[in-house]
Structures are given as C-alpha cells and as structure tokens.
C-alpha cells in the first residue's frame, strides 16, 4: 500500500472515530423515545394476544421458514418485539418466541397469571373482598390498570389483581 493510501486510510479512520464519538454523546444526552415498528408505527415492544387457538411459530418471517412450535392457547398474551412486512416477532412469558403472521394476532389485551393463588378483589385494595382466586397460567382479559393494580375478567369473574402477579402488562403501564 502506498504512503498516500496509508495516510488517507488513517485520516478516514480518525474521521469515523470522531463521527461515532459525537453520535454516542448525542445519543446519551437525548431523551429516550419508544421505538416504533417500521410496519405499523406502533410502539415496540408491545403486548398483543393470539386470535387463533392454534398458531404456528416460525424461525423466520415467511411461510418458507421452519415451524419451531405451535401455540395452542387462544387469547394467550405475547409481546411483539420486531416487525418485518406482515410478520411479527413475538416472545412469550418464558422468553421463547418466533415469527407469527400478523393476522393471527389481536390488539385485545390479555394477561397471564404468574403467581400462585392470585386474588381477584372487588376493589384495588389488599383488604377488599376476594371475588375469586386465580391459579397460575390462567388467561384473563385486561380492562384497565392503575399504578399497582389491574382490573381483569376471567371465567365469569371480574375484579382487581396486583399488577406484579401478572405477565402481559409493564410495571409502569396505565390502561384506561
């Protein structure tokens, strides 16, 4: 390599380093805004539920990709973490995931009971009357959430459960 080419390469590397460091400083001081999906312009990640009682989960975003497994619970909450065309990359409560066609997903919010014997209470209060006890793995419809509690319906029962006992809603999320 000639001396001129070598010098040019060094200068080019220095310019790249400066540009990257300026970008890093700007990124650190800029307020973080939620990522938006390139296809839907909706926030990523976000929670959805399964429309179908049987849903193929694929290794990649097309019908030609291998099916890794099949979800078999209608209304199961999932978290969308990526979008590609008509496909959504989802993960479940256990962190397992794959690609699902968007027509198999619903914006209707559901949650999964995470803890043993979760009380469904008449009011968002630890001392309120228990309407029902929900076992782990029960899927409930999400109606609303405040800072610590979510109003749910499951199996003909309605009431409030502690947000910390649920998967399918973030701790800071407030739903009306």
Confidence class for position 1, pLDDT limits 50, 70, 90: low
Whole-number percent of the chain with pLDDT over 90: 77
pLDDT at residue 74 above 60? yes
Q: Tell me which long-range contacts 141-145 makes (C-beta under 8 A, separation of at least 24).
A: 141/75, 141/108, 141/109, 141/110, 142/109, 142/110, 142/111, 142/168, 142/169, 142/175, 143/175, 144/175, 144/176, 145/169, 145/173, 145/174, 145/175
pLDDT at residue 10 above 50? no
Superfamily of domain 111-167: SH3 Domains (2.30.30.40)
3-state secondary structure of 34: coil
pLDDT at residue 35 above 50? yes
Does 35-108 carry CATH code 2.30.30.40?
A: yes
pLDDT at 70: 96
Confidence class for position 103, pLDDT limits 50, 70, 90: very high
d(CA 98, CA 100): 7
* Equal CATH topology for 35-108 and 111-167: yes
pLDDT at 34: 73
Tell me the mean pLDDT in the region 62-89.
97
Please tell me the total number of residues recorded for the chain in this structure: 176
For residue range 106-146, what is the model confidence (pLDDT) as tens digits?
Answer: 999 999 999 888 999 999 999 999 999 999 999 999 999 99
Q: Domain coordinates of the chain in residue numbers? A: 35-108, 111-167
pLDDT at 175: 75
């Amino acid at each position: 390599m000639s001396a001129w080419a070598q010098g040019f390469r060094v200068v080019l590397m220095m310019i790249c380093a400066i540009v990257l460091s300026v970008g890093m400083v700007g990124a650190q001081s800029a307020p973080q805004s939620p990522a938006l999906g390139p296809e839907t312009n909706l926030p990523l990640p976000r929670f959805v539920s399964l429309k179908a009682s049987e849903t193929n989960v694929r290794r990649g975003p097309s019908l030609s990709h291998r099916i890794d497994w099949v979800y078999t619970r209608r209304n199961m909450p999932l978290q969308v973490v990526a979008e590609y065309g008509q496909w959504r990359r989802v993960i479940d409560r256990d962190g397992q995931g794959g690609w699902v066609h968007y027509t198999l997903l619903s914006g209707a919010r559901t949650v999964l009971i995470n803890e043993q014997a979760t009380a469904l209470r008449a009011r968002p209060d630890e001392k309120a009357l228990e309407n029902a006890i929900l076992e782990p793995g029960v899927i409930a419809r999400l109606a609303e959430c405040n800072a610590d509690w979510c109003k749910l319906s499951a199996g003909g029962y309605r009431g409030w459960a502690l947000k910390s006992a649920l998967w399918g809603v973030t701790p800071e999320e407030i739903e009306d």
